[in-house]
Structure formats: structure tokens, C-alpha cells
Amino acid sequence: MITVENGVYHLKTKHYSYLFRINDQNVPEHLHFGAPLLTSDADALACKPGLGWGTAVLLEEGNTKSCLNAIPLEWSGSGRGDFRETPVELCDAATDFRFESSRIVTGSVPMRSGLPQARNGLHTLELVLAQGDVKLRLYYTTFETVLVRRAVLENSSAHPLAFSKLMSFCVDLPGSYEMTSFHGTWSAEMRLHRQKVTGGKVVNETTMGSSSNNHHPGFFLSEPGATEQNGNVYGFNLIYSANHYASVQQSYQGLTRVMQGINPANFRKTLAPGEAFETPEAVLCWSGEGFGGMSGHFHDFVNRHIVPEAWQFRDRPVLYNDWEGCMFDFNQARLLDLAKRAKRLGCELFVLDDGWFGDRNHDKAGLGDYNVNKKKLPGGMDGLANKITELGMQFGLWFEPEAVNPDSELFRAHPDWALTDEFEPLYCRHELLLDLTKPEVRDYIVENVSRVLDSAKISYVKWDMNRPTVAVGTKVHDYILGLYEVLRRIFEPRPEILLEGCSSGGNRFDLGMLCFSPQIWCSDDTDPIERLTIQENLSYLYPQSTFGAHVSAAPHAQTLRNTPLTTRGNVSFFGCLGYELDLKHLLSVEETEIKAQVAFYKEHRRIFQYGTFRRLSDGEKTVWQVSDGQTHITGLFHKLVHAAPGYERLRVVGLDKNRVYHVVSREQSLRIGLFGELIKHVAPVSLSPHGVVLRTVDHRMTMPDGGEDFTASGSALNTGVMLKPLFGGGGYTTDQRTQGDFGSNVYLIKEVPLHEGTEHKK
Ligand code: DGJ
């Protein structure tokens, strides 16, 4: 509901209230974003400047309430006494936008710029501010758990209007906060950083052309002391995939200004008379229940209002991707062999990654060409797709349509289609980007990708993009609008195709891409221990249904870390499970384990993909829980173990304290090879730890590991129940968890039907 009474605007849902008022200077003054409250609270919430502060610049002489620098605002400008950062910069004028009018509509107001938009808002407030003939329309759309804001600058004057900055929103939140943001690089995405916000401005921005793995657009402001379950936390994110910018700064008076939008670096636009410019939508979220509550709000919003309708709450298939197993080295026979093996393991979708077209036998050639490589695939794409679908699997294909190799038919025919400038071209992964601001380039991509998609039974597309944008000057925003147009033209007529976004892993994991691709490849780093960090930190902003999470080979290609196959599976369960390794070399014990993993995942797929996700990690170990109300699954992951380990408890939250639950661990077994030469202490005969006998046994047989199977009340589980001990050096028994480094378990916790269990009433 959105109401306006005596100049007080109240945007209210079940979860939050957002209040501001138009003050006597016609300036929108922020009052509150947080717990639901009353419109009549406006006066109590408003700042009281009293006699004001010395040297204050006043909009109205003698009126300390008109000191723009000292009151919380919904928007601001420059050169008029507010010396904090401005959300808008006109090139040739100060900015002083004042309230002109407003309207409230049911639902969302469609965007006009081709930017992606959150679907099915509840209500929208359009607040019109004006500075002469220049209008600024601020849009506020309510969703149950979040508020979405954007701005539109309109030139109604008779002259061109140049501007160099327009944020999606700006707001001043009273209070002191810590800022949490995520930074990283290729294969090490989403490293969490937390810092106190003070008088020095904190900026989170990227100029890489994509939302980027260097500086993720989503961030939080939390009250000091906020935890996973308690405390006020604000979350912010942008529905955008290119250069973003956010700044946070606390004023002396204790107001924290926060704004987010398109990065003003290298950004300049001129609006002809009658033209308008629209910013991307920004998502603002508040929770009084800590980071966990805030993540729950974001997950709900993404699942309901961001991912394409055709894939909303739809099961994601278990896929096999040939990339890490084959790279460029494949032919039809090898692919079909892999597909048969993947099918036997239970995979539902076979994805052919890079290398299927042109002269793409390595990453130096072929990008831009769409002719199927007949040497590798003599039956064409259709032939391969038919054979895969005959096996009972769906078929999916990789594309990198935004890029071109200089060694390609496309580049030889249209060198001017590549993004270059007056300097020497700068290559990255031996490629240049195509200039998506050119209509003929967009047409080429749409026609060719569509042609391939219609030429065979293709149910899935992986859309890759492997380099930062350079040589694009001030056109980064136009480039991304070009990309959105291309995606819309290809995939809107083909809603049944599951699109997975990818950009050298998670270089473009953002709400903009999620409006087109229901899932995104989190990272090229599939080492499960690295993934604990990457997936846990993505979970602050995005639901598990959006995570591409694959099991790959060990030792791992990025870390050389050797991890148990059980842990690789257990980590990937908490996302959209896939396998990406050479199945030909699987040992029989590994095949057995993978079959069991896939079967377990399929049985609990809804909970893994759509259940309520909780982070219960404690610094020492990572703990994740997913729940659908009746069934709860907890993953407990160790990194390096210690000698003489202490007790360890399993804590399950969100249970009915009066009910009884059955706890059972997913059955896991131990590789005999784990023990190396220690086996001599138990073997009846002397065996070489490197000899053929032990190797053969290791490849064929496993030993059961200490599983759990017990019942306990919700109350006990919420307190924490004791697990079997970890291996402590005394020998092997099934009464302990004999795992070593990087061990993990997954526990299934189910309500015992009332007639079987005891209900504990107070
Ligand atoms: C980068 C992606 O992140 C990988 O998964 C793979 O698709 C390669 N590109 C293929 O070139």
C-alpha cells in the first residue's frame, strides 16, 4: 500500500515501512526505512535541527530546517548547500530539483529504456521533481520484501541537456553502520569485506564493463553487532550488468548517505529536447532479523520477481558439462561415450561447452563463427542432439556471442564490428568484444544464435563472456542495452530454453542477467573448499536456485587440492547440481558414489533449490541448512582438521520445538586409500601402500563411515545435539567420522509423524 497524507508518503508492506515527506521547501525529506509503523509517526521520526549548526547554508534565511546539508534527504543536488555527494550532475548547471507532483499506481510502471525490470510490483509511486524545464521522475515500486527505486531525467527544455551522473537512488539513513561488500577476481569471487562507515566516503564500483568479480554490486549496511539472526541490516543491489557505483558516507550529524547506480566514470550523455534517460532499478531491502532475515527477503524477491516467469520455481536439471573433462579435445564418439556414462549416473542434461564451431580447437580462433565443426561432429548439431536425446537426456550448448577472435571468418569479413579505438587493440583470452551498440552486430548475433538453436533439439544454453570491456569509451551503458536487446530477441520467443549465464565464471553474477538467465555459473573454481566461500557469500544476495554448482576432478585444476568426492557432492547439492569431469576415468567406487549423490539430490531437489537457506557457519566449520518447513537438510563442512578434535554438535534451527525429528546422515563411505601406509596396522598381511593389491582394493571397495540415525526433539536440535566424534588417531570404527581434511556430512532432519513420536507439550 502507498498512501500520501499531508505531504507524508508512506510505502508499506507486511515487512517494512518507508516514509518521507515533502517539507516546506518542497524538498523530499527522508523519515524512515525499517519496521512497519504509522504515518502519524512522521513528526516523531523527523530530524530536529533546533538552532542548527554554525556556517550552515540555508535554503530559506533563518529556517534551520532548510539546511540541506543537515537533513536526511530522498534525493539531492549540487551547489545549493548540500555538500555531501550528489546523485545527479548536470554538466553546465547546479542542481536543485524541487517537488512538483506525484501519482500512485497499482503494479509496476514499465521501463522505457530496454533495461531489465523486476516483475509484478505491488504499487508504484512516481514522484516528479523539477528544475525549470528539466524533470526528474523518481519511481518507488513496492514488493512484499523489498523496495525498488529508479530515476528518469527528462529534458523538456528547448536546449540540449548534458549530464554526467544519474544515480538510481539516494537516501540518508540516520545511524551508524558497517558496510559489507564483496570483492575478488577470476576464480576467487565474492570475498567478504566489512568496514565501519565513517566520515570518509566508501565507494564500491567497477569499471570493467560487467558487474564484475572484482567488486560485486550488492552490499549491506548493518548496525554494529548485527548477527545472522538479529539486528537491523539494509541490503542494496542493482538490476544491471555493467559499470556500477555505490557510495556510503556518514555525515557529522549522524546521517548515512547511500546511493547506487551507473558508474559516472566515463559516463556522459546529452539529451536532446524531449529526450529522457532512465537508470537501472536498484533494490533496497531492510530486515530487523539480521543478515539471515535480509537474505531471506532477497531470495524471495529473486525467485518471484527476477528470474524469467517460465523458470520460476521450476526444477533445474542435473547436468553434465564436458568442459573440464575435455576442453577442446572431443569428437562425436567421445561426447556420446560421456553422455552414456552421464546418463548411467543419473544426469538429465548433457551440455556441450566450448569448441563445437569453426576452427575452435583452442581459444585463439573461431569465436564469432557459427558453423558446426564437421570434423568433430560429422552428423552436425542435429545429429549429436538427436543421439543425446535418444539416450533420454536433454541437450544444451555453449555460446560466447559477444566476442570475436581476430582469427575468425567473422573478423576477416567485418573487422570494424570489433570494439577498438585509436590505440592498439588490447586482447584478453585472445579475443575482442563485438560492438553491441551497432544494430547490424546485434542482428548478426540474434540471427546466428537463433539459427543454431532452431537447428537441433536444444533445451539449454550457456551464455559465456570472457573479457573485460575496453575501447568502448563512454558507450558501456549502450553496450549493455545492446546485450539486453539481443538476449530478449533470442530467448523471449524460446522461453523453454534454460539459459545459464557465465562470464569466466562469476564475472557477471547480477540481477540484470538473472532477469534472462534463471541460473548463473558461480565461478570457474569448482574446488569445493573455495566454493564454500563463493556460494556462502553469494547466498547473502541470491537463492540457491540461481547457483550453477558442479562436481569436478581432484586434485583441483585451480588449487591442486585433493578433496573427497563426498564433499564435492555435498557442496554442490546447495545449488543446481552438475558434474564436470572426465567420466571415462571414474573408478567403480566413484561411480557408485556419484549415482548415490544424484539420486539423493533428485529426491530432495526442491529443498536444495528452493528451500529456506540458512548460514550457520561458526568460523571453524561451514554449516548450511535448507528447509521447506517439514524437512530440513544440514551440510556440515570441515576444512583442516586438528589432532585430538573436541566435541561437535549439530544445531538445527527453525524447528517446532515440541515435535520430534528423525535425524539421519546421508550414507557416506571411506576410500581405503585414505589410510596410506597406516593400513599396515590392521591388515593381516604386509602390503605395500603403493602396491597393486591396495590400489585394486581402493578402487573397488569402500568402508562405511560413522553415520547418524537418531531422534530428538526440535528443542534439543535447536540447542545442539552431539555428533559422533571425528577421527582422533585411535583407529577405525563406524562410531566416529573418519574423514581427515575437507570432510563433510549432510544430515536429513524430518518430522516424525505425530502418531510415531511424542509431542512434548509444556
Ligand atoms: C569460461 C567458462 O567460465 C568456462 O566454464 C568454460 O565455458 C570456458 N569459458 C570455455 O571457453
Distance CA 370, CA 451 (A): 9
| Locus of grid cell 544494430 | 439
Ligand 1 atom with least separation from CA of 504:
3
If you measure from the C-alpha of residue 462 to the centroid of ligand 1, how many angstroms do you get, rounded to a whole number? 9
| Locus of grid cell 530478449 | 488
Distance CA 103, CA 85 (A): 28
- Residue in 710, 714, 712 with CA at minimum distance from that of residue 658: 714
| Locus of grid cell 539416450 | 391
Ligand 1 atom with least separation from CA of 363:
11
Distance CA 195, CA 205 (A): 16
CB 543 within 8 A of CB 288: no
Distance CA 519, CA 547 (A): 6
pLDDT-based confidence at 761, cuts 50/70/90? low
Give every CB contact of residue 252 below 8 A, 6+ residues apart in sequence. 199
CA distances from 109 to 118, 130, 309, 489, 538 (A): 10, 20, 18, 22, 29
DSSP summary character for residue 289: B
Give the residue-averaged pLDDT of 252-276. 97
For 528, counting Cβ atoms within 10 Å of its Cβ (0-12 exposed, 13-18 middle, 19+ buried), the class is buried
Please name the residue whose Cα sits nearest to atom 1 of ligand 1. Answer: 504
CB 261 within 8 A of CB 280: yes
- Residue in 219, 235, 226 with CA at minimum distance from that of residue 294: 235
Task: List pLDDT tens digits, range 667-679.
Answer: 998 999 999 888 8
If you measure from the C-alpha of residue 208 to the centroid of ligand 1, how many angstroms do you get, rounded to a whole number? 18
Q: Tell me, using a 6 A CB cutoff, whether residue 322 lines ligand 1.
A: no
pLDDT-based confidence at 689, cuts 50/70/90? confident
Q: Given this model, what pLDDT does residue 144 score?
A: 98
Please name the residue whose Cα sits nearest to atom 2 of ligand 1. Answer: 504
- On the question of pLDDT at 208 being above 60, the answer is yes
Q: Tell me, using a 6 A CB cutoff, whether residue 464 lines ligand 1.
A: yes
- Residue in 447, 443, 419, 446 with CA at minimum distance from that of residue 432: 419
Ligand 1 atom with least separation from CA of 580:
5
- Pocket test residue of 464, 517, 580 for ligand 1, highest count of atoms within 8 A of CB: 464
If you measure from the C-alpha of residue 263 to the centroid of ligand 1, how many angstroms do you get, rounded to a whole number? 27
Give the residue-averaged pLDDT of 234-255. 98
Regarding beta strands 88-90 and 233-238, do their DSSP bridges make them parallel or antiparallel, or are they unpaired? unpaired
Ligand 1 atom with least separation from CA of 524:
3
If you measure from the C-alpha of residue 327 to the centroid of ligand 1, how many angstroms do you get, rounded to a whole number? 9
Q: In whole angstroms, how large is the CA radius of gyration of the chain?
A: 28
- On the question of pLDDT at 687 being above 90, the answer is no
Q: What are phi and psi of 677, to 5 degrees?
A: -75, -10
Q: Across the strands, what pairs with 357?
A: 372
Task: List pLDDT tens digits, range 519-559.
Answer: 999 999 999 999 999 999 999 999 999 999 999 999 999 99
Task: List pLDDT tens digits, range 65-96.
Answer: 999 999 999 999 999 999 999 999 999 999 99
Higher pLDDT, 192 or 697: 192
Task: List pLDDT tens digits, range 98-125.
Answer: 999 999 999 999 999 999 999 999 999 9
For 650, counting Cβ atoms within 10 Å of its Cβ (0-12 exposed, 13-18 middle, 19+ buried), the class is buried
Distance CA 478, CA 474 (A): 9
- Could you list the active site residues? 464, 524
If you measure from the C-alpha of residue 504 to the centroid of ligand 1, how many angstroms do you get, rounded to a whole number? 6
| Locus of grid cell 528547448 | 158
If you measure from the C-alpha of residue 464 to the centroid of ligand 1, how many angstroms do you get, rounded to a whole number? 7
| Locus of grid cell 523486476 | 118
Which element (helix H / strand E) includes 478? helix 476-491
- On the question of pLDDT at 760 being above 80, the answer is no
- Rounding to the nearest 10 degrees, give the CA dihedral for residues 160, 163, 168, 172: -120
Q: Tell me, using a 6 A CB cutoff, whether residue 466 lines ligand 1.
A: yes
Ligand 1 atom with least separation from CA of 398:
7
- Pocket test residue of 186, 363, 508, 521 for ligand 1, highest count of atoms within 8 A of CB: 521
CA distances from 552 to 432, 670, 718 (A): 29, 19, 34
CB 543 within 8 A of CB 143: no
Please name the residue whose Cα sits nearest to atom 9 of ligand 1. Answer: 504
Q: Tell me, using a 6 A CB cutoff, whether residue 524 lines ligand 1.
A: yes
332-345 vs 380-390: helix crossing angle, rounded to 10: 20
Q: Tell me, using a 6 A CB cutoff, whether residue 751 lines ligand 1.
A: no
Task: List pLDDT tens digits, range 210-226.
Answer: 999 999 999 999 999 99
CB 351 within 8 A of CB 502: no
Q: Mean pLDDT score of the chain, rounded to an integer? A: 96
Q: Tell me, using a 6 A CB cutoff, whether residue 502 lines ligand 1.
A: yes
- Pocket test residue of 502, 507, 513, 526 for ligand 1, highest count of atoms within 8 A of CB: 502
Task: List pLDDT tens digits, range 431-479.
Answer: 999 999 999 999 999 999 999 999 999 999 999 999 999 988 889 999 9
Distance CA 82, CA 54 (A): 14
439-455 vs 380-390: helix crossing angle, rounded to 10: 50
For residue 708, give the C-alpha cell: 547418524
Please name the residue whose Cα sits nearest to atom 10 of ligand 1. Answer: 354
Q: Tell me, using a 6 A CB cutoff, whether residue 353 lines ligand 1.
A: yes
If you measure from the C-alpha of residue 353 to the centroid of ligand 1, how many angstroms do you get, rounded to a whole number? 7
- Pocket test residue of 354, 431, 513 for ligand 1, highest count of atoms within 8 A of CB: 354
Task: List pLDDT tens digits, range 490-515.
Answer: 999 999 999 999 999 999 999 999 99
Q: Tell me, using a 6 A CB cutoff, whether residue 504 lines ligand 1.
A: yes
Q: Tell me, using a 6 A CB cutoff, whether residue 348 lines ligand 1.
A: no
Distance CA 462, CA 400 (A): 8
Q: Across the strands, what pairs with 222?
A: 178, 233
- Pocket test residue of 187, 189, 320, 323 for ligand 1, highest count of atoms within 8 A of CB: 323
pLDDT-based confidence at 759, cuts 50/70/90? low
Distance CA 629, CA 611 (A): 8
- Residue in 194, 160, 155 with CA at minimum distance from that of residue 177: 194
If you measure from the C-alpha of residue 529 to the centroid of ligand 1, how many angstroms do you get, rounded to a whole number? 20
CB 256 within 8 A of CB 197: yes
If you measure from the C-alpha of residue 361 to the centroid of ligand 1, how many angstroms do you get, rounded to a whole number? 14
For residue 214, give the C-alpha cell: 572484482
If you measure from the C-alpha of residue 439 to the centroid of ligand 1, how many angstroms do you get, rounded to a whole number? 27
Q: Across the strands, what pairs with 422?
A: none
Q: Tell me, using a 6 A CB cutoff, whether residue 102 lines ligand 1.
A: no
Give every CB contact of residue 100 below 8 A, 6+ residues apart in sequence. 128, 129, 130, 135
Residues in the chain: 762
- Rounding to the nearest 10 degrees, give the CA dihedral for residues 347, 627, 536, 561: -50
Distance CA 72, CA 47 (A): 8
Q: Using a pLDDT cut of 70, give the percent of the chain over it.
A: 99
Task: List pLDDT tens digits, range 554-583.
Answer: 999 999 999 999 999 999 999 999 999 999
Task: List pLDDT tens digits, range 313-370.
Answer: 999 999 999 999 999 999 999 999 999 999 999 999 999 999 999 999 999 999 999 9
Give every CB contact of residue 300 below 8 A, 6+ residues apart in sequence. 144, 145
Q: Given this model, what pLDDT does residue 757 score?
A: 55
Terminal Cα-to-Cα distance of the chain (whole angstroms): 40
Q: What are phi and psi of 602, to 5 degrees?
A: -60, -40
If you measure from the C-alpha of residue 524 to the centroid of ligand 1, how many angstroms do you get, rounded to a whole number? 7
Q: Tell me, using a 6 A CB cutoff, whether residue 505 lines ligand 1.
A: yes
